[in-house]
């Protein structure tokens, strides 16, 4: 028995080292495979983002501009692409109000955008959306939709929502007389001045501007009976108003 045990001991030792060598080789092979797979996944040529699909109602937004911006900011592979970073990049575009981004296996990217809805031109060089948020965009792009006619609103920084809401309240009242506001000025002291499509300028003051505007609407038929053209109407009175008439030069 002792001789058999002595012969079996080297055999077990040999099997142990063979198994250990096999395990080490397997481990090295696994590490190598993982490294190669990781390199393949990160290689844009092996797993590029091939299809970028943009959806959502849009008039001004250029799909190709979005695609080019994503490829420039995220030049890596499909697996390496950062969805959160891509989302921030798309939403930073001036005409994008909201966006959602998600990957589509195996090499696609789906982007849904909500376009800014311009409600007014703000201080001559920016736009206000329907919520009164200012955004910096090419105003000329609005011309792509011929149905859009935007008023010009002016006011101090931070008064965007106040100005837009005031404009909407006044415009709602003027529509009964087929008038609309072309320009509206909100001063640093929050005094309201508007110019109408018929050329009349209204000084509404700081307080009770809706009630004063209603007074103008009520008296407009009487004012219109005059043979002279109205230049401005000052409504900063508790009752009544003051009318400034156009001179012959202005009327011409």
Pair type for strands 118-122 and 108-115: unpaired
pLDDT tens digits along 124-142: 999 999 999 999 987 776 6
Mean pLDDT of 204-210: 95
pLDDT band at 250 (very low <50, low <70, confident <90, very high): low
Give the Cα separation of 49 and 28 in Å (integer).
31
Average confidence (pLDDT) over 8-37: 70
User: Superfamily for 118-251?
Assistant: Cell division protein FtsQ/DivIB (3.40.50.11690)
Q: What is the pLDDT of residue 75?
A: 78
Summarised one tens digit per residue, pLDDT across range 164-186 is 999 999 999 999 899 999 999 99
- Whether residue 106 has a cis bond before it, omega within 30° of 0: yes
Least confident of 79-83, 110-114, 170-174, 196-200: 79-83
Confidence label for 220 from pLDDT (cuts 50, 70 and 90) = very high
Q: What is the mean pLDDT of residues 98-102?
A: 96
Using the structure block, give the residue that is written with the tokens 């499909």.
Answer: 78
167 burial (CB, 10 Å; 0-12 / 13-18 / 19+) is: buried
Mean pLDDT throughout 238-248? Answer: 88
Q: Quote the pLDDT of residue 27.
A: 81
Which listed CATH number (3.10.20.310, 1.10.10.10, 3.30.565.40, 3.30.1130.10) goes with 51-115? 3.10.20.310
Poorest-pLDDT segment among 84-93, 131-140, 189-198: 131-140
In the predicted structure, residue 44 carries a pLDDT above the cut 90: no
**Candidate from 12-16, 42-46, 93-97, 138-142 with smallest mean pLDDT:** 42-46
pLDDT value of residue 146: 44
């Amino acid at each position: 028995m002792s001789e058999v045990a002595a012969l079996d001991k080297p055999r077990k030792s040999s099997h142990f080292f063979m198994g250990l060598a096999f395990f080490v080789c397997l481990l090295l092979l696994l590490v190598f495979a993982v490294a190669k797979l990781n390199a393949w996944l990160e290689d844009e040529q092996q797993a590029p983002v091939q299809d970028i699909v943009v959806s959502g109602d849009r008039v001004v937004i250029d799909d190709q501009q979005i695609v080019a911006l994503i490829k420039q900011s995220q030049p890596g592979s499909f697996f390496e692409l950062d969805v959160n970073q891509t989302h921030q990049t798309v939403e930073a575009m001036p005409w994008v109000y909201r966006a959602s981004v998600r990957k589509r296996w195996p090499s696609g990217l789906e982007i849904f955008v909500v376009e800014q809805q311009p409600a007014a031109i703000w201080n001559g060089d920016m736009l206000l959306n329907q919520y009164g948020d200012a955004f910096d965009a090419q105003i000329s792009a609005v011309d792509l939709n011929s149905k859009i006619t935007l008023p010009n609103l002016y006011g101090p920084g931070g008064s965007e929502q106040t100005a837009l809401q005031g404009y909407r309240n006044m415009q709602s009242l003027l529509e009964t007389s087929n008038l609309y506001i072309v320009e509206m000025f909100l001063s640093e002291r929050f005094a309201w001045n508007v110019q109408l499509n018929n050329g009349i300028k209204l000084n509404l003051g700081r307080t009770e501007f809706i009630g004063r505007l209603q007074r103008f609407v009520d008296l407009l038929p009487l004012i219109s009976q005059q043979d002279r053209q109205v230049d401005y109407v000052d409504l900063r009175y508790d009752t009544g108003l003051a009318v400034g008439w156009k001179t012959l030069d202005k009327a011409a």
